[in-house]
Amino acid sequence: MVRNSWMRQTLRRFFLIGLVLMVMTSLMPLRCFADDSITPLEIQTLGTKYPNEPMNTRISRLEKVFHLPPLPKASISFRLTRLYELQRLQVSEKNQQDAIRAYNSAIDNTAQDQYEKAIQDYQKAIRYNTGFIQAYNNLGHLLEELQKYDDAIRVYQDAIRQAPNNPLLQRNVGVLYEKVGNVPEALAHYRQYIALTQQPDASIVNIVNYYDNQHKIGEQSDNYVAFAHQGTHGQNLLWPQSLNPIPVYINIAPDQTPFVPVIEESLKAWETASKGRIQFREVGNPERARITINLKAGPLAHPDMEVGQATYNLPDNQGLKVSITVNTGERDAPISLKDRLLQVNRLALHEIGHAIGIWGHSPDPNDIMFSHPIVSKLSQRDITTIQRLYGVYSGKPLEAAHSNQ
């Protein structure tokens, strides 16, 4: 029993020594070494490159690298601890100096309009010191100024992983999400910013309060049928069963083909929501269409311009016709195709909702038929509303229909 206990303790000591050595060597970049004769590969594989070499010899090699006086009579664990602490301090100090130099260089390059060099310098500063929050913030702001919104968002996301309780980062990334049209994400970060700030920006507070108050109004009912005919002065413009499936013509420019599947998915979502009471059929001739959907280049978010629109027409003896216009973004806009598809999906769902009879707006921002939609799928209230309008409501919840985009 005594012998087995001694063996277990010995094995445990060697295991701990090996573990410390692995941690120590994995954190030793070459730039911290005073002796360039030791390669990074040699340090990383110290435990296997010289399998027949005694541990004392391996440790002595590392002590030489750091110009430490040899302590052959000291325990292995003490010598490893000493090496590890020295290495940690040296790496920290040198990385900090390198990070500051790169940060200052980025500021100089920005002042000289050398933006690409500045971006590279900020990235270097962050690599040297992953907790350099000001470098993240400056880089995110520079990318935003260059209208590289997706890149800026990624930088702020990395920064928030390092400092989740930094209110400035939460506010700045919220502004960016709002710029690219992702209002739900913007609101989530705005709420974090408000919670972390004693005196938050009043404009941010007003935005969050507005959406929260609208949601409270919408919560009072499972539908918004009462608002459905605001745009027609109370007139019901519903499609008769005899016109099903409704002929739809999608009018696109050659460079807008990626958006066609999004439009088709939006049409299918409303078909599902209405339990098949509304159906669509694509046609190739605009003269045969009852609903025409025009895709055009244009901003996806603008305070003074229409980004999506639906208008109805009641020509004599011809029945209802509807024209829809949906912006697909500006060709040089600094927004990824993925984000453009998401916003086009949102706009298409909203405008098609108008076209099939919801000629008003929901008071709740969680519904696709909110005045300026921020969600990307039909809510249960959207579904209940269209079913009540067409008399197919069963009282049983239907899973929210949405696009695959």
Provide DSSP, 287-302. GG-SEEEEEE-B-SS-
Can you give the pLDDT at residue 19?
42
Beta strands in 193-262 (DSSP E): 246-251
Contacts 24+ apart (CB under 8 A), 110-115: 110/138, 110/142, 115/142, 115/146
Do 47 and 107 fall within a single domain? yes
User: CA-to-CA distance for 328 and 40, rounded, in angstroms?
Assistant: 51
Q: Which of 347, 367, 376, 353 is nearest to 211 (CA)?
A: 367
* Count of Cβ atoms closer than 10 Å to residue 350 Cβ: 26
pLDDT band at 397 (very low <50, low <70, confident <90, very high): low
Can you give the pLDDT at residue 96?
81
Do 377 and 237 fall within a single domain? yes
Q: Please state, rounded to an integer, the average pLDDT across all residues of the chain.
A: 80
Is pLDDT of 52 > 80? no
Compare 249 and 5 and report the one with higher pLDDT. 249
Is pLDDT of 182 > 50? yes
Residue 313, in any domain of the structure: yes
Q: For strands 308-313 and 321-327, give the pairing.
A: antiparallel
Average pLDDT of span 380-385: 94
293 Cβ contact list (under 8 Å, min separation 6): 248, 249, 250, 251, 263, 324, 326, 348, 351, 352
Do 269 and 309 fall within a single domain? yes
Average pLDDT of span 248-254: 91
User: CA-to-CA distance for 164 and 110, rounded, in angstroms?
Assistant: 27
Average pLDDT of span 143-156: 90
The pLDDT > 70 percentage for the chain reads 80
Domain boundary among 218, 247, 266: 218
What single-letter amino acid sits at 111?
Answer: A
Compare 73 and 209 and report the one with higher pLDDT. 209
Reduce the DSSP state of residue 128 to 3 states and report it: helix
Do 187 and 92 fall within a single domain? no
Cβ-contact 160, 166 below 8 angstroms? yes
User: CA-to-CA distance for 82 and 75, rounded, in angstroms?
Assistant: 11
């949906």: which residue's tokens? Answer: 326
156-168: burial string, b at 16+ Cβ within 10 Å, e else: beebbeeeeebbb
Can you give the pLDDT at residue 189?
94
Do 155 and 183 fall within a single domain? yes
* Span of 69-78, 186-195, 321-330 with lowest mean pLDDT: 69-78
Average pLDDT of span 338-360: 92
Do 65 and 211 fall within a single domain? no
Residue 18, in any domain of the structure: no
Can you give the pLDDT at residue 63?
75
Do 329 and 202 fall within a single domain? no
* Span of 43-52, 137-146, 155-164, 204-213 with lowest mean pLDDT: 43-52
pLDDT band at 34 (very low <50, low <70, confident <90, very high): very low
Can you give the pLDDT at residue 40?
39
Residue 361, in any domain of the structure: yes
Residue 148 vs residues 82, 145, 154, 387: alpha-carbon distances, Å: 46, 8, 10, 42
CATH number at residue 343: 3.40.390.10
Is pLDDT of 32 > 70? no
CATH number at residue 176: 1.25.40.10
Do 371 and 298 fall within a single domain? yes
Residue 86, in any domain of the structure: yes
pLDDT band at 188 (very low <50, low <70, confident <90, very high): very high
Cβ-contact 225, 382 below 8 angstroms? no
The radius of gyration computed from the CA coordinates of the chain, to the nearest angstrom, equals: 32
pLDDT band at 330 (very low <50, low <70, confident <90, very high): confident
Do 245 and 377 fall within a single domain? yes
Do 213 and 326 fall within a single domain? no
Can you give the pLDDT at residue 82?
75
Give the residue numbers spanning the domain of 71: 25-113
User: CA-to-CA distance for 348 and 368, rounded, in angstroms?
Assistant: 10
Task: Say what the pTM is.
Answer: 0.62
Is pLDDT of 398 > 80? no
Do 210 and 308 fall within a single domain? no
Residue 227, in any domain of the structure: no
Is pLDDT of 118 > 80? yes
Total structural domains in the chain? Answer: 3
Is pLDDT of 21 > 60? no
Residue 224, in any domain of the structure: no
pLDDT band at 281 (very low <50, low <70, confident <90, very high): very high
Domain boundary among 113, 145, 163: 113
Torsion of Cα atoms, 357 then 359 then 364 then 367, to 10°: 40
Residue 336, in any domain of the structure: yes
User: CA-to-CA distance for 157 and 141, rounded, in angstroms?
Assistant: 13
Can you give the pLDDT at residue 54?
73
Q: Phi/psi of residue 291, each to 5°?
A: -125, 125
Residue 246, in any domain of the structure: yes
Can you give the pLDDT at residue 91?
54
Cβ-contact 295, 259 below 8 angstroms? yes
Q: Which of 251, 341, 244, 329 is nearest to 295 (CA)?
A: 251
Do 55 and 142 fall within a single domain? no
Can you give the pLDDT at residue 233?
79
